[in-house]
Chain A
Amino acid sequence: MVISVVVNGTRYERDVEPRMLLAYFLREELRLTGTHVGCDSSSCGCCTVVLDGTRAVKSCTMFAVMADGHAITTVEGLEQNGKLHPLQQAFWDNHGLQCGFCTPGMMMTAYAMLRHTPNPSEREIREGISGNLCRCTGYNNIVKAIAQAAKELTTVETVTDEIAAPQKETVPS
């Protein structure tokens, strides 16, 4: 079945089996391997991507065919014009990652969360990322990183808009 998706601003058309999971579509069809797979039960969140700019989804629990006509932002889409996204910078600054396996999913969840809750409290951050597991960091520094990014994003308000997943219509196919 042929699907058309916009991933990180680029439109892709691909013929896929209906049973292909979105995570594997991104990883294997598009070779965007920053989206990871850590479980089979929609538990770990390593595979989290953002749909249509605002909605975090676990891409291992969505078929690629369901993404037809949607815009997807993956970790590879965070950096813009050679400038790290405030979340990326903050994870680096605060030692918010160790093995790095959970990191892309964690950042994508935070990305969507900060669109809904721009000034989260520590409690809200902890709640917001509670669908994403990390085995390495103990979360302290992830929480710190997201708080830093939130501050950064609210002071430079335009940043979120700038990197919002592009509307389908405006993207050249």
Chain B
Amino acid sequence: MFPAQFTYERARSEDEALAALAKYGSDARILAGGQSLIPAMRYRLARPGVLIDINPITAFEYIEERDGYLSVGATARDYAIEMSSPIRSRYQLLAATSKVIADPVVRQTGTLAGSLCHNDPAGDWPVAALAARAQIVVRGVRGTRLVSADDFLVDSFTTAVGDDEMAVEVRFPKPPPLTYGAYHKIERKVGDFATACAGVQLTFDTGGRVAAAGIAIGAVGAKALRVADGEMMMTGYVPTEELIGEVVEVAKRVADPVADNRGSVQYKREMAGVLVGRALRDACRLSGLKGEGASW
């Protein structure tokens, strides 16, 4: 299977990329890792007239902590995230997510920014981005916007990026001390998109109470979903099995999956709950904090 013809524009710098976007408008697509776009083009499900290749922009490859954020550039590969020592040591949710996306070869090319821009309803990064409260730096020739993950992920395969814009960076607020995270995914095999997935990030106070919670689920709706009520229910409380059980029920109510080869509506919804429960327990376990009355 071979893609339809297109015009190829190589962007060597951010300016070149933005200029090309301004020039071609809606006919153009950014080409990042290409791990979603190129297969779609081979099946001729996507037929962009112009591809603007941002891979040559090495200045976009960074993964670094600055100004209270972890900043991930638009061409940083999933594999670099997986291997990054600050991420491994301080961003457990991201580290756990990075290990289960696609397969290890695809991860050497696919990008976090590309995944968010693709916004596959079963994608993993959108879930982690919601739970970790990421912000996306969106830029066009007309200027730069900082968009929260909630606003960025509009609908299936639709984001807040305008035709003449691109995402240049994804930012994760630097987790305060006593922050722990986990990511759980059910996949039929390595390289499969999730049947259901859940990402969790909890910040505790020294008494073992949850000071801030991020909980999101994926593959169970038109896009990744925040379990906002669950987050609220946990905040200010010491986690107990009972509380986790209630959050699981909330997650199941939030889930609104469709049936496909991966599973029925019922199964996916139930699994969203199971995985939220497991991720919450993991985060609690990792914290090692047993506040008063804690049970998990």
Contact = CB atoms under 8 A, between A and B. Distances in A.
- Is there a direct interface between A and B, measured as CB atoms under 8 Å apart in the complex? yes
Task: Output the residue of A1, A19, A21, A69 with the most chain B CB within 10 A.
Answer: A19
Nearest to A67: B55
Given A48-B105, A112-B108, A131-B103, A63 B34 contact: yes
A56 B105 contact: yes
B148 interface: no
Given A1-B8, A61-B109, A42 B104 contact: no
Contacts of A1: 8
Interface in B188-203: 190-191
A21 B102 CA distance: 20
Interface residues of A, number: 33
Contact of B6 (A18, A45, A128): A18
A40 B43 contact: yes
Interface band, chain B: 20 to 34
A165 to B, nearest CB: 15
B104 A61 contact: no
B261 interface: no
B5 interface: yes
A169 to B, nearest CB: 16
B81 interface: no
A19 B190 contact: no
A20 to B, nearest CB: 9
Contacts of A95: none
Given A55-B108, A127-B104, A68 B190 contact: no
29 contacts: A17-B5, A18-B6, A18-B7, A18-B8, A21-B38, A40-B1, A40-B39, A40-B43, A41-B43, A45-B105, A48-B105, A56-B104, A56-B108, A60-B42, A61-B34, A61-B106, A63-B34, A63-B38, A66-B53, A68-B10, A109-B104, A109-B105, A128-B104, A130-B104, A130-B191, A131-B102, A131-B103, A131-B106, A132-B105
Interface of B: 1-8, 10, 31, 34-35, 38-39, 41-43, 51, 53, 55-56, 77, 79, 83, 102-106, 108-109, 190-191
Interface of A: 1, 17-19, 21, 40-43, 45, 48, 55-58, 60-63, 65-66, 68-69, 109, 112-113, 116, 127-132
